[in-house]
Structure formats: structure tokens, C-alpha cells
Structure 1
Amino acid sequence: MNYIDLFAGAGGLSEGFKRAGFEPVAHVEIDSAACYTLKTRAAYHYLKSNNLFENYLDYLKGNINRNELYSFIPEELKNSVINKAIGEENNPVIFGAIDRQLAGKEVDLIIGGPPCQAYSLVGRARSDDGMKGDSRNFLYVQYAKYLERYQPKMFVFENVLGLKSAGKGVYLHNMEKLFLKKGYKINVFSVKAENFGVLQKRRRLIIIGWKDDFTPNLPDLGNFKSGIGGMVSDLFSDLPDLQAGGGVDKFTKYASTSNDYLANAHIRNGIDTLTQHIARPHNAQDKEIYRIATGKWNDNQERLNYNDLPEHLKTHDNRTSFFDRFKVVGANLNASHTVVAHIAKDGHYYIHPDQLQNRSISVREAARLQSFPDDFYFEGVKEGANRTAAFKQIGNAVPALMAQSIADQIIKRVKLK
């Protein structure tokens, strides 16, 4: 069974479907750095399945460069990543690229979800017109064009909970009408990432659509429980200590052995090569705030209120909102607060719980919160360490473990062929 991934991002959703046994035809993504990530991950899967995995490990260890890594994979695999913005201007080119990849085959599944900022509650709150004029409100119309062209048996559309309330529900209502016009019925599920084994409180909508000429036995994703669980401390326990600005991009050794959660969640998966455990630097003032925040949390399970800081540490003019702009990732919780794309701008909302390290979380720690495996490497446009590009991709991603559970349930219950 194959799939096309639209608005693919770094490939968290795709990673889950690939693990469950689906085969990607193409990934379509506007962000160039994410497209390199997708190509590198395609190389991982190809090399692993063709007894060439040492070549991938050589890349993680810094023994070969990115072009050398890509030289080991077929040209058609590199061409399967399409770095274009989905829309009227580019659709003919994207259709042509996908058609060449398909080579006459039918499509079983389309997955992906348009950028969510236009539907998110936070995005609307920060916009002067509540995102009413944002063109991203209507990217679902483009999604429907791909359904119409490729006629998959089913589709999986991921987005934020705010889609339900955006435009007082009119966008979701119009989606349902448009998808039905294209021949697809839908079911909308509100899901919690922690129910799928992700150690993060992440709420999302999953829309499953199917051709109206058959009735699938859909999984009840809203009440699904994977049985995988742990504590946030499990994500940090085997990683080397870092100070702010420390770490290396390629090839670090683990500080200790794995644990049950890391094994069950497929995060530690047999390799001894740790990458991208790199932390951003912080100035002296931020470090002082971090020490206060971690002390409050670790001693009393209290969150830092910005207004409670000493006056010399208060540099923001806004004292009436965003009191929790500094927040510790609680090691003793079974799910952290949500990782979002803002982590690419600063780490204040994702302070490491170890006061001695006194920093925000590393790229690898953020990736683990999103349940990405440690052999997943996040690229920048230029080769080499790029914290900002990696954090942005991680914050926007669908947790890989959640995606795999959804894909597993579809394969178990629905015969697409």
C-alpha cells in the first residue's frame, strides 16, 4: 500500500506510515530544509533495507558528507521529495513529478495536513483580523484537488483542534462539503498524543476520509490507548549533560544504557551514535531566570509567574499576559507541555529540568518529546548543524509514534486493495 504525503514537513506523519508498512510515492513540502530532512530519511530507509546501513552510520558519524550519502540512493528516490508550495501556480509541476513517481500505479492513501497557524487559537489571538485574511485557511481546497486527481481509497488529514472553532466552525463544515463533493465521506477525531505513547500533551484533530463507495471499519482514535507510557525523565536519563551552547552535531556517545520507554517507543533503536544533542547559548540574565524557574518547579512543583521575578530581570513591557513565558519541562510528569514551532525562536518555554545544566532543551531532547527516533537527522539548507531549522521542523511535526499507531490501526482494520 502506498501514499502521497502533502505538506510533509520533516516527515513525522510519514515516518509512522512507513514504519507500519506503507510505501511513500512522494513527499511535497515548501520548506527547503525540511526537504533535505526528508531526503536524508529516505536514504536511511533505503540503505537499511538494502544492507547498506553502514553508509548511513558513516554520515551520522561525520565520515561522509550529505552529497556522498545521497550518492548511495537511486535518483527516483531523490526525486520523490518535491520542494514546491502546493497551489494553483505549482500544482501542474507537482502533478507531473508525482505521476512520474507513480509510473501508472494507483494511489492507496493521501496523508498530511496544511499549516495550522491559520486555525490555531494562538495564531488567531495574535492576528489583527483573527487570521480571516490568511490564505492558509483555504489550503484544504488544494488538498481536495489532489484527492480528485489521484482518487486514493482513503486520506488522513491532521490539524489543530482550533480547526473546529475557526470561523465558528465554517472551515470544517466547508471541508466536509468539499470532500463529499469529491467523493469522500469523513470522520473527525480529537486525539491526545499521550494516549499514543508520546510523552507530551499535544491535542490534534485527525480527519479520516474514505471513498463513499465502501464503508471502512474505522478505529476509534479518540479513545485509543497504545499501552506505551513513561515519565519525561525517561527521555533525558541516558543523554550526556550539556551546558548552554554545548554539544556537537554529529556523533556523541550516550551517557548510559537505554530504558524500557526508549525501547518501547523505538527512540533508542540499536545504534550507538547520538546526533544533534546540541543546546542553544543563553545570556546571564536568562540563566538566572532559568535557575529560579527550575528551583520553583523541582522544589515545590510551582510554575514561574513572570511578575514574581525580581525587577532587574523583568525586561518585557507586557506584564498583563503570557505570565508563563518561562516554563520548565517537568521531568516527573508523564507528559510535557506541547512542543510548538516557537521553540525555533527561543528556548524559554522549554527549560531543562536539571538546574545544574541550566539551559533550554537540546535539539535531540525536543525530537524525543515528539517521539522521533534517535537515528532521525534534521537537516538545514546548508549542510551542518542548524539548530533553528531543526527546532522549527520538530515543533511543526506530527509525533512519529502517534502516526505509527494511526497507520497500524488503518492497516489492521481497512483493506485498501
Structure 2
Amino acid sequence: MRNKDIVAVDLFCGVGGLTYGLQSAGVSVKLGVDIDPNCAHPIEKNTNAKFLQADVASLDPQVLKNVLGSGGVTLIAGCAPCQPFSTYSRAAKQRHGNEAGTNKSEDWRLVEHFGNLIRAAQPDLVTMENVPPLAQQEVFKNFLKSLEGYWVDWKVIECQMIGLPQTRKRLVLVASKLGPIRIPDYALPVRTVRSTIGDLPAISAGGVDSEDRLHRASRLSDKNLERIKSSVPGGTWRDWPDHLRSSCHVKESGATFPSVYGRMEWDAAAPTITTQCFGYGNGRFGHPVQDRAISLREAAMLQGFPRDYSFIPEGEPVSFAKVGRLIGNAVPVTLGAVIGDLLITHVSQQLG
């Protein structure tokens, strides 16, 4: 009987959210591939996968075939960057005019390169995670064509329904050569901000925990400190006295962005964690009760990473911009685990 173990490669692996989640479900991820050298440490420190710094657009398919071998069920997984279709890019277009967020970046072509690698390597299983607006784009239709010979299912998943303490929506696709495959409807209990980060030590704006250097919060100006003190969980800048409002708030265009300078709510899911989540003014990223933005560690935990996940080597200075980008761009670990469970169950059903 064929070996039912799933052997995988994670393309566009980032800091390993998908790799870690798949491995926690029992998938053997052998290799993570990313063009960013900053991803080497988190992949090799926290997971059992090796890291390959490479541009997926020019990656030789034979590299994947060699890693996947022929002993088990093979999987190619990945989350190709699609910045032009992201909510953040589309919001930038609204704020700054048609020039922002509209250039056809090489990023979206990475979906095509992903499809080309699948055609060449022909794994037994495929999974892709991405931004929901991708489903309306021609590049996604072409990607589906690259899966000829596979049973395919895809849907947009509300991540709080799978146990992630975050209102993130993601397009998830699974494909199999083994037989029909389906993504179920999930309705798990919603995890809250309180249950996820409520037991971390209190810190101040600009402060850092003595035991965890990633549990640090960005500084606040005097005015922003006054603003967050006037903010209520789940509220908006409209709760502030007039003298704290900036000019953009009184313009009609400011009405489109009521959640900037907002606090999270203890007993609800967090908003979508972005690459700028460490900044109080960048969204509803204020701590529910402490007068500061969430820390880098809190952001990571809201993305499903364990409390001790290592993002940068010991001794390397902590950069909010760098680590925030790595965390915000990550596939949530919880989503990776759910996908892993789905694939393992599917293989067991198909191969007996």
C-alpha cells in the first residue's frame, strides 16, 4: 500500500506560518522557499523544514521534485504575494487616487509562476492561500486551468470561524489527484483578544518586557497618548473631544476610515493584523486597556504563532518595521493547521 505520509514544500514560505501550521497537523514540510533572506531564521529555528532563498519565478521544478521524492503523498503549498489585490492596496487607491495600488506589480505574476511549477512538478496535492479579491481576477482563472487533472475546491474562509482570534478573510484552495476534495464549512467558537494575549505582562508605550524583547510597544507622541486615553474599546476617533481630531478626520473623506486610532475589544476577535499593526494610528490596533498599540509579540500571537516563536536571531536589534512586516505578511498558523488537518483526513479517506 502506498505510504500515506504527506511530504510538502512551502513556496513563498515567509516566516513559516503555513509551514508551522501544516507540521503541527502532521504534514512533513521538508523545504520552505522565499526570496527574503530574513525568513531563514524563523523557518529553521521554529520548524523542521530547511530554508532555500530563491525567487520562485525562476525556481527549477527539479528542485521541488528532488525534495518531494517518491515515497509518500506529495504536496506543494504556497501563498503567492498579491499586493495589488489586497484590501490595504485598494484602500491606498481610495486615499491617494488612482496611481496608488494600481500598478501591475510583478507580485501578481507569482501566481502564474506558482501554477507553472505545479504543472511541471505534478504533486499529488496542492494548496494555496491568498487574498479574497484574487478570485475575481483573470490570473486566478488561469491558475485554475493549471490544475487540469486535479479535483479542486476553493472558498473564502472567515478566519475567526476556524479559531483564529482575528477577523481575517482568506481565499483557500485545495486540489488533489487522489479523489474529490472539499473544504468544509467551519463554525468553531470565536477566540478573543483576551483569551489570546490577556495574560501577557503589562507594558507602556515605548516599553519592552524584560523577559521577551518582542513584547515591546512603539512610542506614542504626547497627542497620541492623549488620544488613546480618550479612546474606548471598539470605538472610533469620533469619541474624542474636538481638539484631538486631526484635519483628515473633519474632512468627508475621513469618514471612510473610522477604525484608525481605535482600540481592540477584549471579548471579541482582533481586526486583521497588518504589516503596520504596531502603530496606533494605522487601524484598530490600540490595546484594549493599556494606553499603547499592541506589541509585536501580541500581533504574532493574534496570528496564531506560539508565544515563544522566534522571528529574529538572538542579539539582532528589534526593528518594528522589519518584524511587523514579517508578522503581518504571514499565513496565520491556525489556518495552516486547519488546512493540514483537511489534507491528512482526505489522504486517509482516499488511500484507506
**Distance in 1 separating the partners of 2:264 and 2:238:** 15
SS of 1:414's equivalent in the other structure is helix
1:112 paired residue number: 78
Residue 175 of structure 1 pairs with residue 107 of structure 2:
no
Deviation readout 1:198-219 (Å, 9 max, x if unpaired): 11111111011223xx423434
Question: CA 1:203/1:312 → structure 2, altered by over 3 Å: closer, same or farther?
Answer: closer
- Residue 85 of structure 1: how far off its partner (Å): 2.3
1:195 paired residue number: 161
SS of 1:409's equivalent in the other structure is helix
Which of 121, 141, 147 is the aligned partner of 1:150? Answer: 121
Bigger proportion of residues as strand: 2
Question: CA 1:405/1:245 → structure 2, altered by over 3 Å: closer, same or farther?
Answer: same
**Distance in 2 separating the partners of 1:147 and 1:385:** 37
- Residue 284 of structure 1: how far off its partner (Å): 0.9
**Distance in 1 separating the partners of 2:318 and 2:40:** 16
SS of 2:160's equivalent in the other structure is helix
- Residue 109 of structure 1: how far off its partner (Å): 0.4
* Contact 2:227–2:244 (8 Å) recurs in 1: no
* Contact 1:106–1:152 (8 Å) recurs in 2: no
2:3 paired residue number: none
2:53 paired residue number: 83
* Contact 1:27–1:82 (8 Å) recurs in 2: yes
Task: Mark the runs of 5 or more structure 1 residues left unpaired by the alignment.
Answer: 46-76, 253-273
**Distance in 1 separating the partners of 2:276 and 2:313:** 17
Question: CA 1:382/1:179 → structure 2, altered by over 3 Å: closer, same or farther?
Answer: farther
Question: CA 1:207/1:390 → structure 2, altered by over 3 Å: closer, same or farther?
Answer: same
Question: CA 1:305/1:116 → structure 2, altered by over 3 Å: closer, same or farther?
Answer: farther
* Contact 1:5–1:111 (8 Å) recurs in 2: yes
Deviation readout 1:60-110 (Å, 9 max, x if unpaired): xxxxxxxxxxxxxxxxx6xx211222213xx23xx5654564567676101
Deviation readout 1:251-287 (Å, 9 max, x if unpaired): 62xxxxxxxxxxxxxxxxxxxxx56211111111111
Residue 237 of structure 1 pairs with residue 201 of structure 2:
no
What is the RMSD computed on CA atoms of the aligned residues? Answer: 2.7
- Residue 384 of structure 1: how far off its partner (Å): 3.7
- Residue 340 of structure 1: how far off its partner (Å): 1.4
The code of the aligned residue for 1:19 comes to: S
Residue 352 of structure 1 pairs with residue 352 of structure 2:
no
- Residue 229 of structure 1: how far off its partner (Å): 3.9
Deviation readout 1:343-375 (Å, 9 max, x if unpaired): 266664200111xx3100011111111111112
1:293 paired residue number: 231
- Residue 312 of structure 1: how far off its partner (Å): 5.4
**Distance in 2 separating the partners of 1:146 and 1:309:** 56
1:210 paired residue number: 176
Question: CA 1:347/1:364 → structure 2, altered by over 3 Å: closer, same or farther?
Answer: farther
**Distance in 2 separating the partners of 1:216 and 1:160:** 24
Residue 329 of structure 1 pairs with residue 264 of structure 2:
yes
Deviation readout 1:361-409 (Å, 9 max, x if unpaired): 0111111111111121112798242332221111112221222122112
Q: How many residues align?
A: 336
Task: Mark the runs of 5 or more structure 2 residues left unpaired by the alignment.
Answer: 1-5
Alignment of 1:3-14 (within 5 A): 3-14=8-19
Deviation readout 1:168-210 (Å, 9 max, x if unpaired): x423222222332xx4342111111111111111111101122
2:319 paired residue number: 386
**Distance in 1 separating the partners of 2:45 and 2:109:** 31
Which of 22, 27, 30 is the aligned partner of 1:22? Answer: 27
Residue 131 of structure 1 pairs with residue 102 of structure 2:
yes
* Contact 1:4–1:107 (8 Å) recurs in 2: no
Question: CA 1:102/1:413 → structure 2, altered by over 3 Å: closer, same or farther?
Answer: closer
SS of 1:195's equivalent in the other structure is helix
- Residue 152 of structure 1: how far off its partner (Å): 0.8
SS of 1:158's equivalent in the other structure is strand
* Contact 1:275–1:374 (8 Å) recurs in 2: no
SS of 1:280's equivalent in the other structure is coil
* Contact 1:326–1:351 (8 Å) recurs in 2: yes
2:186 paired residue number: 224
**Distance in 2 separating the partners of 1:346 and 1:195:** 26
2:307 paired residue number: 374
Aligned residues with identical type, % of pairs: 25
Which of 232, 242, 262 is the aligned partner of 1:310? Answer: 242
TM-score, normalised via structure 2 length: 0.85
**Distance in 1 separating the partners of 2:231 and 2:296:** 21
Question: CA 1:126/1:380 → structure 2, altered by over 3 Å: closer, same or farther?
Answer: farther
Residue 342 of structure 1 pairs with residue 276 of structure 2:
yes
